[in-house]
Amino acid sequence: MKIAIDGPAASGKTTLGKRLAQALGFLFVPTGAMYRAAALARLRGIPLKDVDINVTEEGRVLLNGEDVTEALASPALDELSSQLAVEGEVRAHLVELQRRIAQGRDVVMEGRDIGTVVLPDAELKIFLWATLEERARRRQREQGGSFEEVLEAIRKRDERDSTRALAPLRPAPDAVFLDTTGKSPDEVLCLVLRLVEERRARLAR
Ligand code: DC
């Protein structure tokens, strides 16, 4: 079974994805972290063709075999990864890696274009959403900084991620839209586990 979670910046995709994958015993694939690792590779001057990114069962992100997980959650990589994500060659390279990782296994994959481009045949597609203010509050709790600056950075990134020509952020027609504003991670996980059960029951029929 493949589960796609898409949504705007700081909508809770990683929090939900990790916990869902753990509950189901699936591999979690954070493709946002893969774009961040590709941005790190660019900063290090590694040519795209030499960039290999993998994720481990333990949730670590490997860039050419090196564990770079801790380096990925920074405001600088928030912005650079979003800029890099408009480039067709970068997207093609990462989509290929993402499909290879997902091939033949149960996965929960999060990103912007998972339900629309990477795994269009996913058995369950979730589009996770929350108001801009709520998302800025969540990100500020994680990263610190001024609320206004965090909100503006997310707004700018959302705009770029949703208006780019290639694979823009948008819900797949068959995605379940889930507004998480005011909901705790536990509540969101419960709702999605129920959707998984429904989907499994339907597939078994
Ligand atoms: O989810 P995130 O904030 O870690 O993602 C970082 C950037 O990577 C995001 O601004 C857009 C890009 N991205 C993308 O274009 N497609 C994906 N499937 C995942 C992320």
pLDDT tens by residue, 83-94: 999 999 999 999
Say whether pLDDT at 143 is over 90.
no
The stretch 176-193 carries a mean pLDDT of 97
Per-residue pLDDT, 163:
95
Ligand 1 atom at shortest distance from the alpha carbon of 160: 10
| 52 — pLDDT class (breaks 50, 70, 90) | very high
DSSP alpha helices (H): ranges in the chain? 13-24, 31-43, 75-84, 88-102, 132-143, 147-163, 185-204
CATH of 2-193, one of 3.40.50.2300, 1.10.1240.10, 1.10.150.120, 3.40.50.300: 3.40.50.300
Q: What is the mean pLDDT of the chain?
A: 96
Is the beta carbon of 39 within 6 A of some atom in ligand 1? no
The stretch 100-116 carries a mean pLDDT of 97
Structure confidence by residue, pLDDT tens digits, 128-139: 999 999 999 999
DSSP assigned state of 117: I
Is the beta carbon of 81 within 6 A of some atom in ligand 1? yes
Is the beta carbon of 135 within 6 A of some atom in ligand 1? no
Tokens for 45, please give them.
């001057």
The stretch 3-11 carries a mean pLDDT of 96
Ligand 1 atom at shortest distance from the alpha carbon of 14: 1
Per-residue pLDDT, 142:
87
User: Which of 5, 16, 18, 31 gets mutated to test ligand 1 (max ligand atoms within 8 A of its CB)?
Assistant: 31
Cα 50 to Cα 197: distance, rounded to the nearest angstrom = 40
Say whether pLDDT at 96 is over 90.
yes
Say whether pLDDT at 184 is over 90.
yes
Q: How far is the CA of 179 from the centre of ligand 1 (A)?
A: 19
Cα 150 to Cα 154: distance, rounded to the nearest angstrom = 6
What is this structure's pTM? 0.96
Domain boundaries, the chain: 2-193
Ligand 1 atom at shortest distance from the alpha carbon of 9: 3
Is the beta carbon of 32 within 6 A of some atom in ligand 1? yes
Per-residue pLDDT, 75:
87
Nearest of 41, 103, 97 to residue 72 by alpha carbon:
41
Closest residue by Cα to atom 6, ligand 1, is 32
User: Which of 36, 42, 82 gets mutated to test ligand 1 (max ligand atoms within 8 A of its CB)?
Assistant: 82
Per-residue pLDDT, 98:
98
Closest residue by Cα to atom 11, ligand 1, is 82
The stretch 166-192 carries a mean pLDDT of 97
Cα 71 to Cα 91: distance, rounded to the nearest angstrom = 21
